[in-house]
Structure 1
Amino acid sequence: MAMINIEYMHPEEDPSDPTIRRRTNAVMAQYIRDLIFEMQMGDISCAFKETVTDGARDVRINGRAIPEIIDGLQIKMLEAEESCDFGSTTMIKFGRPTLDWKREWVEDVPDTIMKNAIAKVFADENKNQIDVIN
């Protein structure tokens, strides 16, 4: 089975934009730890590393940046008929659109895009392992 390694690289100071989704390094690191926990509960091998750098902020999944991973992917939201809550009432949310992302801040990556990037890397890694076995 594929191994997923996620590395969050950031300077010591927190992001300066108060409008992003995860406003501090600690919140972003905890978000990734929560994703790691979910994957481990699903019996997926994964690890998390947080690195303080002097350079740019980035999240690398198996060494690849999120924009590189999702390049060419068509990310679609579920239609009402495809969702598990079809026919039930839902809470109306006000705010930014789900896929809106300030790309200069990796801490602003939407959950949908982050999970799609992880899934894509996982699928690519599993494909590579299957190809090696055959």
Structure 2
Amino acid sequence: QDFSNLLNTHFNGAQHVLCGHNAKEFDIPFIARRMIINGIALPNKLNLFGKKPWEVPHLDTLELWKFGDYKHFTSLKLLTKVLGIPSPKDDIDGSEVARVFYIENNIDRIITYCEKDVIAVAQIFLRLRREDLLVEDEIIHV
């Protein structure tokens, strides 16, 4: 509910775009389905019913890196490596999240893992645009 409220109140303008790596095929559908299952109204940014592909306010670094290639998949770890960006996968990867949550009960470790992914996606986007990467004092952890 908090995420839905955040999107509806602070990130609901045309200039706001959701961005992630493989987000169009995993993160966004997963979040939307969980909202529906839990009876949460989809925020406009996630409500894709009847929208044409160019009307979808999502940006996916995996798609950007494909350059139109339909049979190509590049992991976030590999893309950060080839672009000279620090890997967010220096501790755990997605396959280990369930274990860390259910067995280790270490939500802080998962939070750190997710934050690193977000930073890596931002750095990839900047690198693809040939812009300067973020430096540590430009990143705010909340």
TM-score (norm 1): 0.30
- Which has more helix, going by share of residues? 2
Give the number of the structure whose residues are more often strand, by fraction. Answer: 1
Structure number with greater CO (CA < 8 Å, separation at least 6) is: 1
TM-score if structure 2 supplies the norm length? 0.29
